[in-house]
Structure 1
């Protein structure tokens, strides 16, 4: 217990002594959970996409997602897998698409990790 926690109520003193455990957000999907005919959307910038992307993936950068996704995926029930460099932008895109009414959208995580799970190599 540190000197500052001495002035806290007893419950807070106990809480201050307990280690904090952080939960990781939901892990990216496993390959068995991927629909075979899913639309792969790379939500990174066009430059990142051109530096290397998964085969059959379409580039739809996160800033343009809301305006252009209806052209690429007019069916809101169609399976979509999103990916980026690490999964962060894909998670943002996932939330956006869910708010837009898309029902079968998944965060695939980072491009390299998703490629390994799918057995696909990055192409340039």
Structure 2
């Protein structure tokens, strides 16, 4: 009987837990986590499930994170008000919008961005979810 565990399936572009761990370590206090989930469940019904696992950044909960919802209509988001070389992890529930946002940020000049998946990708979330 094998004792190996099967890794969780992830969406294309989601960084590995090891990549995220190294990124968070190197970023230190400069890290910015961008939560792309939408606060209106009528706009993004799938976000309800991931919000049960982890809520939106607020006060001291997830202090390195901001909520900048991804617009599927416009394929865009509000740009974070940080230096272009700021270490950024994007996430939604599981990584689809996280990848779109990573690509969007890169096209807008941000140079240090990873897609962290989201609360549904437990191994990845464990590396940065409390930030």
Task: Note if contact 2:38-2:69 (Cα within 8 Å) is conserved in structure 1.
Answer: yes
Q: CA deviation at 1:119?
A: 6.9
Query: Within 2, Cα distance between the matches of 1:67 and 1:107?
Result: 15
Q: TM-score, normalised by structure 1?
A: 0.62
| Among candidates 106, 125, 128, match of residue 115 of structure 1 | 125
Task: Give the drift of 1:100.
Answer: 0.8
When Rg is computed on C-alpha atoms for both structures, the one with the higher figure is: 1
Matched residue, 1:42: 35
Structure 1 residue runs without a partner (length 5+):
1-23
User: How many pairs align?
Assistant: 96
Aligned 1:37-76 pairs, distance under 5 A:
37-47=30-40, 48=47, 51=51, 52-53=55-56, 55-56=62-63, 57-63=65-71, 66=76, 68-69=78-79, 72-76=80-84
Larger RCO (CA within 8 A; separation ≥ 6): 2
Q: Which has the higher helix share?
A: 1
Question: What stretches of structure 2 of length at least 5 have no aligned partner?
Answer: 1-10, 41-46
**25, 29, 35: which is aligned to 2:12?**
25
Q: Kindly provide the CA deviation profile for residues 29-84 of structure 1, in whole angstroms up to 9, marking residues without a partner as x.
A: 431222222111101102449x4146122110012884621xx3341111111111
Give the alignment's Cα RMSD to 1 decimal: 3.0
Could you tell me how far apart the structure 2 residues matched to 1:65 and 1:78 are? 22
Moved more, 109-118 or 85-94: 109-118
The question of whether the paired residues in 2 share the 8 Å contact of 1:53 and 1:111 is answered with no
